[in-house]
Structure 1
Amino acid sequence: MATLAGTLGFKEQSPDLLSGTPRAHAIDRWIFVFMAMWFIAIVLAGFIPDSLMKIDAVQTGQRPPFPWVLHMHAVLMGSFLLLLLAQSWLMATGRNAQHMRLGIAGMVLAPALVIVGFVLAPTMYHMLWAGAQAAPASKQAEMQFALGIWENILLLQIRIGILFSLFLAIGLTARGHDAGMHKRMMYLGTVMALPAGIDRIPWLWSSMPASPMSADVFTLSAIAPMFLWDVLRNRSVHPAYIFWLTVNLPFAIAVHGLWDTPWWHHTARQIMGVG
């Protein structure tokens, strides 16, 4: 059976061009466990302080309660990241059969996460829109500015929704006949969703809301450990990264080109049904 790399038109990589030492083989097994833990740490670093701040705001009446879809999204995303960790752990410890059985959960979680994400984005926007309409005159300028920021963030959310779905679909399709493409695409798809957590880490540099540059920089940084080990190990770039970057580039150009333009603000309001 042809591999997915062949289907995409890429030449297959040589399997092992480094020294073949026990240490190298150990890193081969555990790098993906490390990456799953790294992704979880990024999400916790961003969402724990942000969530505590927003919970306090809800309790003091400074913002409305969280919608149910936000709780559902948090549960699904947390479950998906834990599943990624469990799957990598099973493979690192040689439990391939359990890995294959548990993989069925990923086929359920991934589409559920995408569906809930596309419900969450308009839900949060409409909450902010309603708040802006109800705000007193003294707060109108502030609320309209916040609404403009959310309209720009919609660009990132659309990109995440499309590319997260695409890369995970490729990863799941490769399951069983192209292990190299499968495992890399699962991480390359997951990393697309991490800017939501990265942007909330209070001590990190951020270009937001003026530009989405920091989201792109830190997405590349988040996947860098896996990529660098791959290049060091095989002395070449795996086709998964080439495909990932090739697909990502036009989306990044579109997001940067549309960011904060009058046309996009008008279009975003049309999409949200409030134009």
Structure 2
Amino acid sequence: MQGNGTASTITGRFPPFHRWDRSFFLGATLAIWTVLVAGFGYDLVTRARLGMLDFPWIVHLHALVYTGWIVLLAMQVGLVRTRRLALHRRLGRLGALLIPAMIVLGPATAIVVRVTAPHPVWQELAFMGTQFANVLGAGAVLIAGLLTVRHPSTHKRLMIMGTIGLTEPGFGRLLYPTLYAWFGEGYLPYYLETYAGTLVLVLAAGGYDLATRHRLHPAWALSAVWIVANQCLGTWLFYEPWWLRWMAALTGH
């Protein structure tokens, strides 16, 4: 393993393995879990105190599917770490079911929640652009990850990066109020308030490759550009009057 990495460095190819990889991908998975559990846990506690735990049925289905995905991710990382690759490949088939379900349920849940809300404020309707862009960005990366299972170094980076793209709701529940108090309104402030946490994880993943290989993996570079581009799309849509009108019409408001 060490010899392959050295030879790849000399010839200019990206070394597929490094002795720290197993620890890094475990740490990345734990970071994703921490953000999502802390963010949604804080939100549920706050809602419970306010007596606001009555959700449409699709919210529960959405939570089940998305939780299923991060559980599957943790299991897959653990199976690779313990070298149980045959079971890892078999369980990977669940990803082919969960990822399309997440891509459909993300926007569908956002729409139903706004439809059933009695009087949503304009920010809630405009925020649907951010929600749709998040799903588009993360979903495309995860699908690419499914299609590259025969290339492990690419596959595992795309699966982690795609899941990082889904962390905005967790970070938002934890950081948005504080960051909004600091930065206020505007395109750049909104981007930082909404995506700062996710962006840190994206950059950390690239920083790991630079630290261990002294170069960036193409899968990281392409997925990072795609995720950030969709974040910029969500930021732009939030302030577009025509988007607000579309979402108001779509949700009956």
Compute the TM-score of the two structures, normalised by the length of structure 2: 0.84
- Give the structure 2 partner of residue 187 of structure 1: 160
Does the 8 A contact of 1:121 with 1:157 survive in 2? yes
Q: Is 2:219 the partner of 1:240? A: yes
Residues 228-260 of structure 1: CA deviation (Å, up to 9, x unaligned): 221111100110122113323443333333323
Consecutive unaligned residues in structure 2, runs of 5 or more: 1-11
Does the 8 A contact of 1:171 with 1:183 survive in 2? yes
Residues 63-84 of structure 1: CA deviation (Å, up to 9, x unaligned): 4711111111112111211111
Does the 8 A contact of 1:165 with 1:189 survive in 2? yes
Alignment of 1:107-146 (within 5 A): 107-128=96-117, 131-132=118-119, 146=120
Consecutive unaligned residues in structure 1, runs of 5 or more: 1-11, 133-145
> CA–CA distance in 2 between the matches of 1:13 and 1:70?
45
Q: Radius of gyration: which is bigger?
A: 1
- Give the structure 2 partner of residue 82 of structure 1: 71
> CA–CA distance in 2 between the matches of 1:203 and 1:260?
17
- Give the structure 2 partner of residue 14 of structure 1: 14
Identity of counterpart residues, as a percentage?
Answer: 22
Structure ranking higher in helix proportion:
2
Q: Is 2:42 the partner of 1:49? A: yes
Aligned equivalent of 1:262, options 231, 237, 241: 241
Q: CA 1:96–1:194 in 2, change beyond 3 Å: closer, same or farther?
A: same
Residues 126-152 of structure 1: CA deviation (Å, up to 9, x unaligned): 122xx22xxxxxxxxxxxxx5211122
- Give the structure 2 partner of residue 167 of structure 1: 141
Instruction: State how many pairs are aligned.
Output: 236
Compute the TM-score of the two structures, normalised by the length of structure 1: 0.78
Q: CA RMSD in A?
A: 2.3
> CA–CA distance in 2 between the matches of 1:253 and 1:109?
26
SS at match of 1:190: helix
Q: CA 1:168–1:269 in 2, change beyond 3 Å: closer, same or farther?
A: same
> CA–CA distance in 1 between the matches of 2:137 and 2:175?
26
* Worse-superposed segment, 224-233 or 44-53: 224-233
Q: CA 1:189–1:75 in 2, change beyond 3 Å: closer, same or farther?
A: same
Aligned equivalent of 2:174, options 192, 201, 206: 201
- Shift in Å at residue 204 of structure 1? 7.4
- Shift in Å at residue 89 of structure 1? 1.0
